[in-house]
A and B are shown apart, each in its own frame.
Chain A
Amino acid sequence: MVYRSAKTRIAIGSAVVALALVVTGCSSGKTTGSNSAAKTITIDKAFDLKTADPGRMYEPTGELVDKALYETLLTFKGGDVSKVVPGLATLTQSADAKTFTLTLTGTHKFSDGSAITADDVVFSLDRVIGVKGNPSFLLDGVTVTKQDAKTVVLTTKTATPALPAILANPALGILNSKVVKAHGGTTTDKDAAEKYLNTHSAGSGPYILSSLNLASQVVLTANKNYDGSDKPTYTRVVIQNVEGPTQKINVQGGSADVALDLSGTQATGLSGSVNVTSDPSANVIFLLLNQNPKISKITSNPSFVKAVKEAIDYSDLVSIAGKGTSQAPGVVPSMFLGALGASDALKTDATAAKADLAKSGYKGQSVTLNFPSDITLNGIEFPTIAQRIQSQLKAVGITINLAPAPVATELDAYRNGTENIGLWYWGPDYPDPSDYLVFTPGNVVGLRAGWSATADAGISSLAAAATVGGTDTERAAQFEALQKALNTSGPFIPLLQPGNNIAAKSTVTGVVYNSVWTIDIAALGKK
């Protein structure tokens, strides 16, 4: 017992000494003093973050982060993505939409105080092309040339009316070429600057990167050399990886100021100290019916396709999707040029559906509906939508066999065009209707629906006309005509445009949804 007591005394003594050492040498781990603590804003986001390197980034969380770190040549104001405005440069565009002259305004500086030059622009855009990363396709067929110290010319072989909108994507943010080159940056696939750009930023945006952990949080601090119009109110931003259900509790409880991923159901009922901004997202959920008779004889039957379009109860789907969701009138989302109005949307007509079904020769055989079982888009779960469609089609006599699979495995079948019926969504690559030409015969999504280039000459000619471009009015008319034709005879059924719900403490101002970068963090203010 004596021995045990001695051991105990030694242990207690050691603990006291250790504690004393800790206390005497202790400092604060807090980031800011009490006066400036109010300048930290915490944003909850369900991460899909892979990198902060603009040349490789192409995920929603990356867009949010890089919008704060990098400026682009052109940009959008607030949530309006239908009109491009000057960013680091002003634009002059040739009538044939093949030559784009960008002149630097000269009023912006990088975060290290150095001036932004045409060399930086050429390096940044060439790097996006050269590293062969996810966003490289944005500049497919684009040649970047320096004209003088302040002017860069972008040329394309074919008309590219979407290029100005593409240039507003944060993936095309302008990098400080000297800094990036010093850390392994090149304009080829040998580029080794990603590691550096995941620990430091090298741009001219309102914030600089303080720390980045792809799994947990990104911390930004205000860029003291920022010369733009929207100087940030918050000196420190913490973007933390939090799932939707927890986001709601966090913003209600006060540990988060903004929650970006609330579903319609979660957003319902939030009030008091929390404001909710509900806008249509730019995602469109659709069904595809395979037009390749080798894949499915029945889904390639035009009368069957028509019957399915008429059998679906669109308002029922909208009602289960929750706050902010609406029926998608066409494949182009409502905030883009050329979007259809609600009156142009497909309509439910069970009687007509039964008549068309009879015309198709359908004998009651089971048709497989493939869908990604683990996708939740703006709070909408794909299995729920698939089950509802199954019951709606059953009401007119169509038997659907549901075939769910994880997205990582189902993607193969979708991209190879082997699904009979597929339930998928399209998120825009850039906010221009030309991104939706993929839904035409012989193009990417068209082929996924077994729709070959020669399948529908009428729609192909409408698509060809829309590719050429023109004034905004002309382009809007072209895309409206194209979508009306798609609704009539195409293999796609636009279903839903999910709502995007952002909850923020009532003291936070400037929360405006943008379909490219979700929110502009620098625009957030404090009441």
Chain B
Amino acid sequence: MTSSPASGAVRTGKPARTAPAAHPFVRYAVRRVITSILLVIGVTLVTFVLTNLVPGDPVAAALGQRAAEDPTIVAHFRAEYGLDKPLVLQYFTYLGNLVHGNLGVSTTTHNPVASDLAKALPATLEIAIGAIVLSVIIGVVLGTVAAYRRGKVSDHVLRVVSLAGLSVPTFWLALVLYYVFYFKLHIAPGSGRLSSDFNTPHTVTGLYTIDALLAGQLDTFFDALSHLFLPVLVLTLYTVGLLTRFVRTAVLEILDQDYVRAARAKGLPTRTVVWSYVLRGASIPVLTVVGLAFGSLLSGTVLVESIFSWPGIGSYAYQAASHLDLPGVMGVGLLIGVMYLLVNLIVDLLYGILDPRVRIA
């Protein structure tokens, strides 16, 4: 997450017209963006190679048992999806198409992969954003409390709770919570993003809650919101466990710092010490974990999506992988890679904002 040393001044021996030096943060941001673009190209290569190394024939997986025996149909299928071309040519064709935003056509859905992902991503984003926001709020509070009450009963309880959140398998938790909250207590709706007697709101963002509000459909908004409850809860319980532990550790390290002791000695109110000194100091490692956790939420919700019939990226990835849908698998791999890079880029840029030493290093 650090960058290379900034270039020094140009020594030409004579006065030269010099462009006004860019702000250190801008230089830092540009470097991070360029690195990210190079990494994206690397991701395409890795995704392509790995996908094509998988044993098995996509034709066998995509066509029915009889159709796969018919040479005419098989030849037509290979030609339609470009599988009859050499691998290297396939890669460069893929890269060329990628520049135009074309991720190929899914052999499973017969739709452009980009269009499939555009439909699936908002579904995942809706639960991932909800989960990360709640997790950060709860995790920071619990982690800070645990650190401040180090060694006391409340600290031990919080550590056990966070460990439980990390240890319980999410698919099991999802099934249990669904059974309890939906079937037994009737306080959560059934699976899916909307109840079956609601029409899907007109797509603007793909986030049903936002689209329902934009369409002025309050009943749809509340229905969509209620469907978010359980998936977000399950993902939050896991992520809170992770964040609580990291925040506790980070805060404990900061609490021993001289500047925090000095702040306390000056008699500053605890609230000021916590917000302005401790949490700001702990923010860098916490931010790293938040970034990783968000990336993980975007890419690793397969089982939760399966239990709650949530048509997001996880479900799409599973479907593509189980059908050896190479364009679909590559599309998901690339999307997840790009999302991780994007999240890391944002985290890096936030480092620069939070800690000036990073941007001038």
**Please, which residue of chain B has its CB at the minimum distance from the CB of A21?**
B216
A137:B308 contact, CB within 8 angstroms? no
Contact A241 to B67, CB < 8 A, known contacts A31-B197, A408-B324: no
**Please, which residue of chain A has its CB at the minimum distance from the CB of B213?**
A22
CB distance from A199 to the nearest CB of B (A): 11
Binary B-proximity of A418-432 (CB < 8 A = 1, otherwise 0): 000000001001000
Contact A137 to B70, CB < 8 A, known contacts A40-B196, A252-B183, A411-B57: yes
Name the interface residues of B309-361: CB closer than 8 Å to any CB of A: 309, 311, 315-316, 319, 321-324
CB distance from A23 to the nearest CB of B (A): 7
Judge whether A240 is part of the interface by a CB distance below 8 angstroms: yes
Please give, as numbers and ranges, the residues of chain A lying within 8 Å of B66 by CB-CB distance.
137, 429, 444
A26:B216 contact, CB within 8 angstroms? yes
Stretch touching chain A among B14-22, B218-226, B253-261, B264-272:
B218-226
CB distance from B39 to the nearest CB of A (A): 29
CB distance from B106 to the nearest CB of A (A): 9
B110:A255 contact, CB within 8 angstroms? no
CB distance from B59 to the nearest CB of A (A): 9
From B54, B190, B223, B308, A253 is in contact (CB under 8 Å) with: B190
Binary A-proximity of B56-85 (CB < 8 A = 1, otherwise 0): 110011011111111011001100000000
A412:B57 contact, CB within 8 angstroms? yes
Instruction: Give Cα A23–Cα B189 distance, bound, in whole angstroms.
Output: 23
Please give, as numbers and ranges, the residues of chain A lying within 8 Å of B307 by CB-CB distance.
243, 245-246
Please give, as numbers and ranges, the residues of chain A lying within 8 Å of B309 by CB-CB distance.
216, 240-243, 246
Please give, as numbers and ranges, the residues of chain B lying within 8 Å of A407 by CB-CB distance.
61, 322
Name the interface residues of B285-312: CB closer than 8 Å to any CB of A: 306-309, 311
**Please, which residue of chain B has its CB at the minimum distance from the CB of A25?**
B216
Please give, as numbers and ranges, the residues of chain B lying within 8 Å of A252 by CB-CB distance.
183
Binary B-proximity of A200-229 (CB < 8 A = 1, otherwise 0): 000000000001011111000000000000
Judge whether A344 is part of the interface by a CB distance below 8 angstroms: no
Contact A255 to B195, CB < 8 A, known contacts A22-B216, A243-B309: yes
Judge whether A454 is part of the interface by a CB distance below 8 angstroms: no
Instruction: Give Cα A240–Cα B197 distance, bound, in whole angstroms.
Output: 12
A406:B217 contact, CB within 8 angstroms? no
Judge whether A303 is part of the interface by a CB distance below 8 angstroms: no
A249:B200 contact, CB within 8 angstroms? no
A215:B223 contact, CB within 8 angstroms? no
Binary B-proximity of A49-60 (CB < 8 A = 1, otherwise 0): 011000010100
Instruction: Give Cα A56–Cα B108 distance, bound, in whole angstroms.
Output: 12
B306:A243 contact, CB within 8 angstroms? yes
B190:A255 contact, CB within 8 angstroms? yes
A216:B183 contact, CB within 8 angstroms? no
B198:A409 contact, CB within 8 angstroms? no
Please give, as numbers and ranges, the residues of chain B lying within 8 Å of A120 by CB-CB distance.
none
CB distance from B260 to the nearest CB of A (A): 24
A136:B217 contact, CB within 8 angstroms? no
A213:B311 contact, CB within 8 angstroms? yes
Judge whether A278 is part of the interface by a CB distance below 8 angstroms: no
B217:A26 contact, CB within 8 angstroms? yes
Instruction: Give Cα A50–Cα B309 distance, bound, in whole angstroms.
Output: 17
Judge whether A506 is part of the interface by a CB distance below 8 angstroms: no
A412:B178 contact, CB within 8 angstroms? no
CB distance from B67 to the nearest CB of A (A): 5
From A32, A249, A254, A409, B197 is in contact (CB under 8 Å) with: A32
CB distance from A30 to the nearest CB of B (A): 6
Instruction: Select the residue from A132, A216, A241, A412 with max chain B CB neighbours within 10 A.
Output: A216
Judge whether A187 is part of the interface by a CB distance below 8 angstroms: no
Judge whether A369 is part of the interface by a CB distance below 8 angstroms: no
Please give, as numbers and ranges, the residues of chain B lying within 8 Å of A471 by CB-CB distance.
none
B76:A253 contact, CB within 8 angstroms? no
CB distance from B65 to the nearest CB of A (A): 8
Instruction: Give Cα A119–Cα B175 distance, bound, in whole angstroms.
Output: 52
15 more contacts with CB within 8 A, not counting A241-B309, A408-B323, are A22-B213, A26-B216, A26-B218, A29-B212, A29-B219, A140-B70, A215-B119, A216-B311, A249-B179, A253-B186, A255-B182, A408-B56, A411-B61, A429-B64, A444-B65
**21 cross-chain CB contacts under 8 A:** A26-B218, A27-B216, A27-B217, A29-B199, A132-B73, A194-B110, A211-B200, A216-B192, A216-B193, A216-B311, A217-B192, A246-B175, A246-B309, A250-B191, A254-B190, A408-B61, A408-B322, A411-B56, A412-B60, A429-B65, A444-B69
Residues of A at the B interface (CB closer than 8 Å) are 22-23, 25-32, 37, 40, 42, 50-51, 56, 58, 132-137, 140, 189, 194, 211, 213-217, 238, 240-243, 245-246, 249-250, 252-256, 374, 406-412, 415, 426, 429, 444
Residues of B at the A interface (CB closer than 8 Å) are 54-57, 60-61, 63-70, 72-73, 76-77, 108-111, 116, 119-120, 175, 178-179, 182-183, 186, 189-193, 195-201, 212-213, 215-220, 223, 306-309, 311, 315-316, 319, 321-324
